Structure 1
Amino acid sequence: MATPADDAAPGQLQRFTNDNIERASTRGVEALVRSRLWSFLSVDMSYTYLFSLDRANDRPLPGRSEHRVTARILVEADELGFVGWARGSWVGEAFFFQQSDDGSDQTLRAQPFVSFDARVEQRIIEHVSAFVGIENLFGAGDAVLVPLLPRSAYAGINGRY
């Protein structure tokens, strides 16, 4: 398990340490509902529950959120050569454990966060399309406990033969 080893100053690299877990178990379930509302529009909703346990220390595995909810809307207009989707995810709090200077374990909590991604693609000519997207629109995460990639945009061209 990777856990923060220090509190980095802004602009500095964050160091992590890897801790071996002696005995652990994980179990989970995921439910997905997909509905095609019209021929061009569909919606997905999913829920994931994860039970994780560090058996040696009788506590949750570090960095594992118990709950995640995801929703996606997809628009596919084949006759127009257009595909677009937007996806949002809510991830519940996760726990980390860090050893204090006195040797005791300190519990750190990563707050729940929301991540939002979107992408659109438009056919330009037969077998060629252009796309643009954005990931982590709201800049979710924090550098210490939830080191997600920052907000980023991308664009490109697809060619099919």
Structure 2
Amino acid sequence: MCVLRCGRLSSDGSSSGQMDSLLSIISSQRERFRWRNQELEANSSLQQTLQALQSELDSLRANIKLYEKIKFLQSYPNRAGDSDDTVMRYSSQYEERLDPFTSFSKKERLRRYQSLSPWDKATLGLGHVILSNKMARTVASLYKLMLHCLVFLVLYKAAWSESIGRYCAAFCAKK
């Protein structure tokens, strides 16, 4: 405002019409910025509202899943009266057998095993035997180490014999 007043009072020949047009341009620009600022604030508040509603929706979905699980479990007969040890002992095994994921996993494992060749089945069986017992793992590791040492010794002996043979041949050729 001071600049505009100073501009009107200056004696450089600027007219008040130009100052008024400049003032109207600046005020319209200020109004655009004010409108844009209000629009951004509204967008920000809408974004926060959207995030709050999204988190509430996620929690409601989780609660619905939990409610479905509760209803499913309530559909089973109440076992509070069952105190028989035999029933309790076999009920967990029965429920494990009913688990679709476990049964699918077992069927899939059996199907893959049956599709193997006899040699692969023997190798898999041997691997299970060796890897399931600590003593068998230790013996297999020592056996593997001894075989490697034997191979290296045989190769060293062959190389040494070959070098001795060359040395003898060269020695005989000199004589």
Classify the TM-score, shorter chain: under 0.3
Normalized against structure 1, the TM-score is what?
Answer: 0.14
Q: Which has the higher helix share?
A: 2
Greater RCO, 1 or 2 (C-alpha within 8 Å, sep 6+):
1
Greater Rg over alpha carbons, structure: 2
Give the strand-richer structure, 1 or 2: 1
TM-score, reference length from structure 2? 0.13
